Structures are given as structure tokens and as C-alpha cells.
A and B are shown apart, each in its own frame.
Chain A
Amino acid sequence: DAKTTQPPSMDCAEGRAANLPCNHSTISGNEYVYWYRQIHSQGPQYIIHGLKNNETNEMASLIITEDRKSSTLILPHATLRDTAVYYCIVRVASGNTPLVFGKGTRLSVIA
């Protein structure tokens, strides 16, 4: 079973920041938080991952609480192309472990 909890759906106005929450209250010390997204009928796309510190890349920012029990993915300026299902996943640090997907959050960016 997935070890994360996400809201099933969210809306965001185009140009505004999209903040997607994720709860992972049973996360272990050696587990990272990963975010992927899946646009309809395509394979999932990696967005970002982190352990303890906040992370930022060209796509998004990841904010992890100090106790590591929850995190937020931030898309700073959402566009219509960001409409997708977003998956928050915890994964152990050792190599080559599969990802366990939940149902994710369906983000709809509205013009």
C-alpha cells in the first residue's frame, strides 16, 4: 500500500502558485520523498525529490516539514500544461527500489 495521503483533486488559476500537499506520517529516516506527475495517457514524469532539506529545481520546489511527516510541492506559476495527476511517493534510500504509487492528486489549472 502507498505510504502517503494526498487530496484527490485540486484546482489552481493559471499564473498562480499551485501548492500540493502530501502526508507521510510513517516515513522512515532512510526514505526520500519523490514527486512525479502524469499527464493523460503518458508515462509519469519525475519532478523532484528530497530527504530533509527543501529542494528547488527548474520545475518546482519541495518543502518538507521539520518532522518530515508532510511535504508540499509548489509549482510557482502554474500553466495549463501543468494539468496532470501528481503523485507523492516515499522511497528507501538504497538503490533500485521500485516506486509504490497511490492515487495522487488531480490538479486542474484553469484559465
Chain B
Amino acid sequence: DGGITQSPKYLFRKEGQNVTLSCEQNLNHDAMYWYRQDPGQGLRLIYYSQIVNDFQKGDIAEGYSVSREKKESFPLTVTSAQKNPTAFYLCASSTDPPGIKAYNSPLHFGNGTRLTVT
């Protein structure tokens, strides 16, 4: 079945270590997104990519980095510079082709990775 796979579901790291969260989609979607969710809060945008080899910062990009070398993959690295990395991380994708207006494909989300840094 087509979908978005985030792995692992739970991840534990020591403070000061970088960690990379995986996000893979087989939906042939052009755009991919990373969100962070803290307890009792809504989702906040970290980074997004509308096309391969291009990405934009979201509202809370500091302490994070991404790459988009392949259409189906959008890994997120949580660096040691991120002050409060413990959170629930969600990846999403959508199918809007670049440059086409008035096209409103919904975002499809993975089931998230819960990162705990101690």
C-alpha cells in the first residue's frame, strides 16, 4: 500500500548527539514537510521541500537540518544545537505539482517518531 513511513516509532538519544529521523513516501508526491508537536500543542512547521534538491525553513528551523536528494525521502537531523529536542516529530507529503495554482491536495501524514533526549 502507498503511504508515508517514519522510523523508528520511538527513539532515545543522549544530550549532545545528533540524530536523524527517517521519512520515506511511495506516493510519488512532490512536496514533503516536517512538523514538531509538543504535549497538548498543535503542530509547528520545521522545514518543507516542494521539489527535490530544494527546501525552505519553517517557523522553528533552528537546530534542525534536512536534505532532499530523492523525491521519496526527506530525512530530518536534530542537531545538538536544538535546545529542547524531546518531542513528537511528524512527516507529511502532498502531491501538488510546482507552478500549478488552485490545486489543493491534502497533506498525508506519517504516524510520527517520538524522540526522547536525556
Using a CB–CB cutoff of 8 Å, the interface residues on chain A facing chain B are: 2, 30, 32, 34, 41-46, 49, 87, 91, 93-96, 98-104
Using a CB–CB cutoff of 8 Å, the interface residues on chain B facing chain A are: 4, 30-31, 33, 35, 40-45, 48, 50, 58, 88, 90, 92, 94, 96-112, 114
Residue of B nearest to A42 (CB): B111
Output the least CB separation between A20 and chain B (Å): 15
Asked if B101 and A104 sit within 8 Å, CB to CB, the answer is no
Output the least CB separation between B6 and chain A (Å): 8
Asked if A96 and B50 sit within 8 Å, CB to CB, the answer is yes
Residues of chain B lying within 8 A (CB to CB) of residue A101: 35, 42-44
Residues of chain A lying within 8 A (CB to CB) of residue B30: 96
Output the least CB separation between B2 and chain A (Å): 14
Q: Give the complex CA separation of A108 and B110 in angstroms.
A: 23
Residue of B nearest to A106 (CB): B40
Asked if A42 and B112 sit within 8 Å, CB to CB, the answer is yes
- Which one of B58, B88, B99 contacts A95 once the chains associate, using CB atoms below 8 Å? B99
Asked if B42 and A95 sit within 8 Å, CB to CB, the answer is no
Asked if A44 and B94 sit within 8 Å, CB to CB, the answer is no
